[in-house]
Structure 1
Amino acid sequence: MAGYVVVGAQWGDEGKGKIVDVLSQKADCIVRFQGGNNAGHTVVAGGQKNVLHLLPSGVLNPKAKCIIGPGVVVDPFVLLEEMDTLTSKGVSVDHIYISDRAHLLMPYHVQLDCLQETRDDARKIGTTKRGIGPCYADKYTRIGLRVCDLEDWDVFCEKLSHALEMKNEMITRVYGGDPIDRDELIARMKPVRDRLLPMIVESVTMVNEALDQDQTVIFEGAQAAMLDINYGTYPYVTSSSPTAAGVCTGAGVAPQKLKHIIGVVKAYSTRVGEGPFVTELLDATGELIRERGSEYGATTGRPRRCGWLDMNVVHHAAMINGLTDLVVTKLDILSGLPEVKICTGYEIDGKVYDYIPSSVEKVAKAKPVYEVLPGWEEDISGMTRYEELPENCKTYLRRMEELAGVRISMVSVGPDRVNNIYLHPILED
């Protein structure tokens, strides 16, 4: 069973979209298993840039089934807009399917997210204001709308009316916002439903049958380990589990069917939004990395916080995901720096931690314990073989492998799908 999982090993924005795109060229099926349009996966092919939010990053392969799984929250308006954008570029969308068990993210979720995040007395989380948290909250309080509800229009309208009554009360009484008109929302949803109906499938059986037939199935996560609802820097996290374990609940497959767990690691660290960031660089070096790496959110456009590589974080991700391979991205951005630093531990109140403490207040006090390695001057963006890399660059990669306890199988040295150096094969023949 060729089940491959691609997950982020930091705070997201590691370049998972590119890696899924590269691997999906030989895939039979690509499954997005959690999150929503708070993701921003950039895929560059032939010089053309595509930013995907809901669609699996393997969508550029028209021969592979692209499935939005049960664990995803789907904003139908965003989904159709994204599909229309691809169609305008000549990209086929006929191979896209939506699980009937996925939850629908509605306009009132977006409005509540914005109101909650901007409320004066609220502790700001730094969400994307896309409605992700409120939609997952409805899912777990069992008042959410699912994609399967669209199949019976009368049932959908009844459920929507019930949910909207409660949400409008919260919007108006708690937050002082403007209520959403029921009839107007139903009118907006009618043409959306008509377009979505042919795409709805019972995805759990579809995916498991593909695995049982030894097809190559790639499971794609959004966000990353440090934003996991259970194991990230809570509460500054996302509302789902973007780890390998999330595949089992988010796609409906058993753990033993997942053969390769691929962790994507940026050669330095970045973070968007609030929360502790131990290796953050608030200096010229941090600004240089941001500009060289174009570190601005693909979903929000917000500048990303930049810092040195934090191996406490990567080791944490390797442990909870059971990583079998690492893919290192944006290594070329560090070229020209006189030295590069790797954080190997956190010093908190005189004690050094080689793991991530659960208390966000404790992590916020941490000082990084660094190893300093010599940098490299050479431009590596055109290199295609490991042997070509500067010796100092190889030393950096070897140390990363040692600290993570996971082999590096691929290194990305540029944004296009061809800008890669392979150390070990990832996909089986």
Structure 2
Amino acid sequence: MPALVLLGAQWGDEGKGKATDLLGGSVDYVVRYQGGNNAGHTVVVGDQKYALHLLPSGILSPGCTPVIGNGVVVDPSVLLSELSGLNARGVDTSKLLISGNAHIITPYNVTVDKVTERFLGKRKIGTTGRGIGPTYADKINRVGIRVQDLYDHSILTQKVEAALDVKNQMLTKLYNRRAIAVDQVVEELLEYADKLRPYVADTVLVLNQALEENKVVLFEGGQGTLLDIDHGTYPFVTSSNPTAGGACTGAGVGPTKISRVIGILKAYTTRVGSGPFPTELFDADGDALRRIGGERGVTTGRDRRCGWFDAVIARYATRVNGLTDFFLTKLDVLTGWDEIPVCVAYEIDGRRVEELPYSQTDFHHAKPVYEYLPGWNEDITKAKSFSDLPKNAQGYVKALEEMSGAPISAIGVGPGRDETIEINSFL
């Protein structure tokens, strides 16, 4: 079955948009299977830069059908704004499909997210404040609003009433906020119904039929492996499963239909938000990585925390996702360093640890153990093949491949669509 999963192998922001866009012209469907508009992809096409937050990157590829799966949480206002922005730039968005089972981010979910994060103070998680976590909580608590509910006024009203029975108690008595009116929420949500109707479909059926017809389907994860609710650096994680298993539940496609799992690795490491980060830099090198790499969140606008490459995390991502390939991005950012540190293990209480510790306490106290690889000064942005890279850049890639446990099949040497070295085809 020609089904591929493409996901972040670190804390997100690895350049999944570039990788998805590279494959977009060769696949029939690109599917977002989890997360919401807390994710962000930057795709550069020619001299045009596109910032996508909720839409699958494949929407920029003519002939490709973009799909928002049932595992995604959808803010209708953000989605419609993003569609409008692309249409104004001449991008055809008419082929978009949205699962009727995807959950809606309501105004009260956003309110709860913001007031809860403020209430936590120093213990805050570092959420984007866009209502993602509370919407997933409603889903699990079985009081969530789904896209299909927009087309049944009675069901929608009953569900909003049920959700606000509890939330208004919390908002008024705990957070000293005003109660939210049921009618106001229902009215606002119903305004989106007709605008979304042309896109709503039984995406589980569509995708499975496509695979039966030997169509190529690419499943695109948001965030990254270390932000997975089960397998990430809990509690500093997202509220869904960006790992490969999430593609099955978030799109309704069985695991036996997935043929390849591609992990996106940045040539160094970044993360946004709170939580442990063993290789984080607080010096001039960290500032240089941030400046040269343009490390600012697409969705949040926050500066990303920067550090050297962490092979322990890469090996962990290979294991929990069953990765078959890596796409290494932003290799060009490392040009100019005489030597480049790579974290090969951790030191925890005097012990050398080569695998990611399962204990949150141990990970918080992990100190990086570095090996130093020779750097390069040559411009690599024009490289078209692996042999075009300087010898030290080749050596860096080979070392990362050996440490990470899966072959590096493509290398990003610049932000542009054509600034990629393809070593092995993903299809």
TM-score class, shorter-chain normalisation, is over 0.9
Q: 2:153 & 2:43 partners in 1: Cα distance?
A: 36
Q: How does 1:13-412 map to 2 (within 5 A)?
A: 13-120=13-120, 123-412=123-412
Q: 2:64 & 2:374 partners in 1: Cα distance?
A: 43
Residue ranges of structure 2 left out of the alignment (5+ in a row):
none
Q: How big is the shift at 1:33?
A: 0.3
Paired residue type of 2:129 = K
Paired residue type of 1:104 = I
Over residues 208-243 of structure 1, what are the superposed CA-to-partner deviations in whole Å (9 max), with x where a residue is unaligned?
111111101000000111011111111001111101
Paired residue type of 2:392 = N
Q: 1:344 & 1:308 partners in 2: Cα distance?
A: 11
Q: 1:180 & 1:359 partners in 2: Cα distance?
A: 40
Aligned residue for 1:119, secondary structure, equals helix
Indicate if the aligned counterparts of 1:116 and 1:122 stay in contact, CA closer than 8 A: no
Q: 1:292 & 1:171 partners in 2: Cα distance?
A: 43
Over residues 100-132 of structure 1, what are the superposed CA-to-partner deviations in whole Å (9 max), with x where a residue is unaligned?
111111111111111111115562111111111
Indicate if the aligned counterparts of 1:219 and 1:247 stay in contact, CA closer than 8 A: yes
Paired residue type of 2:334 = L
Q: 1:92 & 1:98 partners in 2: Cα distance?
A: 16
Residue ranges of structure 1 left out of the alignment (5+ in a row):
none
**Judging changes above 3 Å, is the alpha-carbon distance between structure 1 residues 343 and 416 closer, same or farther for their aligned structure 2 residues?**
same
Indicate if the aligned counterparts of 2:25 and 2:62 stay in contact, CA closer than 8 A: no
Q: How big is the shift at 1:367?
A: 1.0
Q: 1:84 & 1:227 partners in 2: Cα distance?
A: 30
Q: 2:228 & 2:20 partners in 1: Cα distance?
A: 20
Paired residue type of 2:37 = N
Indicate if the aligned counterparts of 1:117 and 1:127 stay in contact, CA closer than 8 A: yes
**Judging changes above 3 Å, is the alpha-carbon distance between structure 1 residues 120 and 228 closer, same or farther for their aligned structure 2 residues?**
closer
Q: 1:424 & 1:264 partners in 2: Cα distance?
A: 15
Q: 2:22 & 2:423 partners in 1: Cα distance?
A: 15
Q: How big is the shift at 1:354?
A: 1.1
How big is the alpha-carbon RMSD for the aligned residues of Structure 1 and Structure 2?
A: 1.1
Q: How big is the shift at 1:162?
A: 2.5
Q: 1:340 & 1:412 partners in 2: Cα distance?
A: 18
Aligned residue for 1:296, secondary structure, equals coil
Aligned residue for 2:191, secondary structure, equals helix
Q: 2:228 & 2:308 partners in 1: Cα distance?
A: 21
Indicate if the aligned counterparts of 2:150 and 2:189 stay in contact, CA closer than 8 A: no
Count of residue correspondences: 427
Aligned residue for 2:123, secondary structure, equals coil
Q: How big is the shift at 1:197?
A: 1.5
Q: 1:277 & 1:422 partners in 2: Cα distance?
A: 30
Moved over 6 A (4+): none
Q: 1:121 & 1:39 partners in 2: Cα distance?
A: 23
Aligned residue for 1:238, secondary structure, equals coil
Indicate if the aligned counterparts of 1:233 and 1:358 stay in contact, CA closer than 8 A: no
Q: 1:61 & 1:22 partners in 2: Cα distance?
A: 9
Indicate if the aligned counterparts of 2:76 and 2:105 stay in contact, CA closer than 8 A: yes
